[in-house]
């Protein structure tokens, strides 16, 4: 079996010949061929090292030896379906449950985040007997049909103008680009009221709400952090309408937000979703996913699923590594440090409109005009291409593709943070020179401690 031996051009040619064109590569003009990876680093066919700021799937670090060993050992022993009793399945379910509020006690394993979210919808439909789903602007919940229907991020790409009849799109609770911003007295209530309005409109048409679904922090949607209290208020409206609240943790779970193990916990101790879905970081790259619900609210279902002994062995090893290496703590500390470095960038670069994030889930929102918050889409593309030349992997996302998106393996270090920020600093300086954007001396000296109007100078 050949691995990594083809000439790069040959790999590209074979890919064009055999693999569907919609299976995209990063940096399509000059894609990267990666042959090995370790921790937060990936290596190309010339053994050149790339710093990986994007692969949240390799949650505890690429090819973590403990995870590889657990998977390999179990593969040698047994890999079969969950119709036989096996300790890995039950021990893993028990272990995962322990990270969640007690009410979220019923667990199913499937093979991908998409399968987990599809299952969540089905159970919501069955349990409530209702059909309608409320989703957020720019949301992405997976690539199977039922989820494309509820993923504006996806159905807009596919040039589907209108969502399906049973899908309602609520305002994204984005306090930087949304309808209610940081200057609004109570954006949490205001955004939740929008959900309430949608429910009322639906009821007027004789429709009924089965579920509200949201990522605990919106990822593809542009690294959006919902204001605290928003989920509680939304859940109340949705439950009053007989629906359930689904928190999608596929991108943001497993300690990434630093202060908590799950993203939804950022909303406060009093908030418990009815359903939580988990995805790829769960297996550090191994295809697996999971789903928890509260017994009280959802009982009926019929299926058989994933959760084979190999997946569960890998899942257990991932949890062990997170604990042993205190990766949640690392996400908190390095994430805070990286955020602080990026905040400093904002003080020196007009192109930086907003820095937002929790733990190692951070967005740098680039703008052409700070007052108007005009998305700097082309500039964001420029930044990621130039970073790639410096062997740093970063991506731009959000509805305008202008948000630089940090979600590195959780073993990301201080030095990594300093390196990527130093490079971005240089690139932004260059870009601003070309664009004729410059901070005034006065603004720079203020050092960002007070709220101020930034002065835009065209040279």
Complex with its own copies: residue 13 or 343, whichever CB lies closer? 13
Complex with its own copies: residue 289 or 328, whichever CB lies closer? 289
Q: Which part of the chain contacts its own copies (CB under 8 A), choosing from 57-65, 178-186, 192-200, 229-237? A: 57-65
SS (H, E, C) 111-176: CCHHHHHHHHHHHHHHHHCCCEEEEECCCCCCCCHHHHCCCHHHHHHCCCCCCCCCEEEECCCCCC
> Contacting its own copies (CB under 8 A), which of 41, 108, 176, 406?
108
Instruction: Decide if residue 107 touches its own copies (CB under 8 A).
Output: yes
Q: Which contacts qualify for 188-191: CB closer than 8 Å, 24 or more apart?
A: 188/226, 188/227, 188/228, 188/229, 188/230, 188/233, 189/229, 189/233, 191/226, 191/227, 191/230, 191/234
CB of residue 377 to its own copies, shortest distance in Å: 19
Q: Which part of the chain contacts its own copies (CB under 8 A), choosing from 195-203, 301-309, 332-340, 363-371? A: 301-309
Complex with its own copies: residue 123 or 169, whichever CB lies closer? 123
CB of residue 431 to its own copies, shortest distance in Å: 25
Closest CA to 311 of 112, 16, 97, 28: 112
Tell me, by CB under 8 A, how many residues bind its own copies: 102
| 3 state DSSP class of 121 | helix
> Contacting its own copies (CB under 8 A), which of 301, 340, 426, 457?
301
Tokens encoding 355: 């820095």
Stretch 124-163 residues interacting with its own copies (CB under 8 A): 143-146, 148, 154, 157-158
Complex with its own copies: residue 85 or 459, whichever CB lies closer? 85
Stretch 65-104 residues interacting with its own copies (CB under 8 A): 65, 68, 70-72, 74-91, 93-94, 97
Q: Which part of the chain contacts its own copies (CB under 8 A), choosing from 117-125, 242-250, 270-278, 426-434? A: 117-125
Complex with its own copies: residue 76 or 162, whichever CB lies closer? 76
CB of residue 164 to its own copies, shortest distance in Å: 12
In angstroms, the CA 246 to CA 274 distance is 6
Complex with its own copies: residue 205 or 302, whichever CB lies closer? 302
Stretch 272-291 residues interacting with its own copies (CB under 8 A): 284-288
Tokens encoding 396: 């731009």
Residues 6 or more apart in contact with residue 46 via CB below 8 angstroms: none
CB of residue 318 to its own copies, shortest distance in Å: 11
CB of residue 43 to its own copies, shortest distance in Å: 9
Complex with its own copies: residue 127 or 231, whichever CB lies closer? 127
Residues 6 or more apart in contact with residue 341 via CB below 8 angstroms: 417, 418, 421
- Residue 220: CB atoms within 10 A of its CB come to 22
In angstroms, the CA 252 to CA 248 distance is 8
Complex with its own copies: residue 304 or 450, whichever CB lies closer? 304
Residues 6 or more apart in contact with residue 353 via CB below 8 angstroms: 176, 365, 366, 367, 370, 373, 376
How far from each other are the two terminal CA atoms of the chain, in whole angstroms?
A: 59
> Contacting its own copies (CB under 8 A), which of 302, 372, 449, 451?
302
Whether 348 and 439 have beta carbons less than 8 Å apart is answered as yes
Draw the binding track, 304-333, toward its own copies (x: CB under 8 A; -: no contact).
xxxxxxxx-x--xx--x-------------
Complex with its own copies: residue 275 or 437, whichever CB lies closer? 275
Tell the burial category of 325 from Cβ atoms under 10 Å away from its Cβ (0-12, 13-18, 19+): middle
In angstroms, the CA 24 to CA 446 distance is 44
Tokens encoding 304: 């058989």
CB of residue 381 to its own copies, shortest distance in Å: 16
CB of residue 364 to its own copies, shortest distance in Å: 21
Complex with its own copies: residue 22 or 447, whichever CB lies closer? 22
Stretch 160-189 residues interacting with its own copies (CB under 8 A): none
Tokens encoding 308: 């084979």
Stretch 8-47 residues interacting with its own copies (CB under 8 A): 8, 11-12, 14-15, 17-20, 22-26, 31-37, 42
In angstroms, the CA 1 to CA 286 distance is 21
CB of residue 252 to its own copies, shortest distance in Å: 18
Tokens encoding 455: 């002065």
Stretch 231-270 residues interacting with its own copies (CB under 8 A): none
CB of residue 338 to its own copies, shortest distance in Å: 22
Tell the burial category of 31 from Cβ atoms under 10 Å away from its Cβ (0-12, 13-18, 19+): middle
Stretch 376-415 residues interacting with its own copies (CB under 8 A): none
Cα Rg, the chain, nearest whole Å? 22
In angstroms, the CA 240 to CA 247 distance is 18
């Amino acid at each position: 079996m050949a691995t990594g031996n083809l000439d790069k051009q040959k790999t590209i040619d074979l890919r064009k010949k055999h693999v569907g064109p919609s299976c995209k590569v990063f940096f399509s003009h000059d894609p990267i061929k990666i042959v090995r990876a370790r921790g937060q680093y990936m290596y190309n066919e010339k053994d050149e090292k790339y710093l990986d700021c994007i692969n949240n799937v390799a949650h505890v670090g690429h090819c973590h030896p403990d995870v590889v060993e657990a998977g390999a050992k179990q593969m040698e022993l047994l890999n079969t379906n969950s119709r036989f009793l096996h300790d890995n399945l039950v021990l893993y379910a028990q272990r995962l449950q322990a990270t969640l509020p007690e009410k979220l006690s019923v667990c199913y394993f499937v093979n991908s985040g998409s399968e987990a979210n599809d299952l969540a919808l089905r159970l919501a439909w069955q349990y409530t007997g209702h059909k309608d789903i409320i989703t957020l602007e720019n949301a992405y919940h997976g690539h199977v049909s039922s989820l494309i229907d509820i993923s504006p991020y996806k159905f807009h790409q596919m040039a589907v103008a209108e969502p399906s009849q049973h899908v309602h799109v609520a305002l994204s609770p984005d306090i930087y680009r949304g309808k209610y911003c940081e200057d609004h007295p109570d954006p949490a209530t205001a955004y939740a009221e929008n959900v309430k309005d949608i429910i009322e409109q639906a009821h007027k048409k004789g429709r009924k709400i089965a579920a509200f679904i949201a990522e605990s922090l919106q990822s593809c949607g542009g690294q959006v952090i919902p204001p605290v209290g928003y989920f509680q208020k939304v859940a109340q409206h949705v439950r009053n309408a007989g629906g359930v609240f689904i928190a999608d943790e596929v991108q943001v779970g497993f300690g990434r937000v630093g202060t908590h193990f799950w993203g939804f916990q950022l909303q406060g101790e009093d908030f418990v979703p009815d359903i939580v879905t988990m995805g790829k970081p769960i297996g550090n790259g191994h295809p697996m996913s999971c789903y928890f619900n509260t017994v009280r609210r959802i009982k009926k279902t019929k299926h058989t699923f994933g959760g084979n002994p190999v997946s569960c062995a890998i899942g257990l090893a991932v949890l062990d590594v997170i604990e042993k290496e205190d990766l949640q703590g690392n996400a908190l500390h390095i994430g805070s440090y990286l955020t602080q470095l990026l905040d400093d960038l904002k003080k020196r670069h007009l192109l930086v409109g907003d820095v937002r994030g929790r733990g190692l889930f951070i967005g740098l929102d680039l703008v052409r005009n700070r007052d108007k918050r005009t998305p700097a889409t082309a500039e964001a593309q420029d930044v990621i291409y130039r970073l790639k030349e410096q062997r740093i992997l970063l991506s731009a996302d959000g509805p305008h593709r202008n948000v630089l998106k940090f979600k590195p393996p959780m073993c990301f270090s201080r030095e990594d943070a300093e390196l990527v920020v130093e490079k971005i600093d240089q690139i932004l300086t260059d870009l601003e020179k070309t664009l004729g954007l410059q901070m005034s001396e006065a603004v720079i000296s203020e050092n960002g401690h007070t709220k101020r109007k930034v002065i835009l100078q065209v040279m």
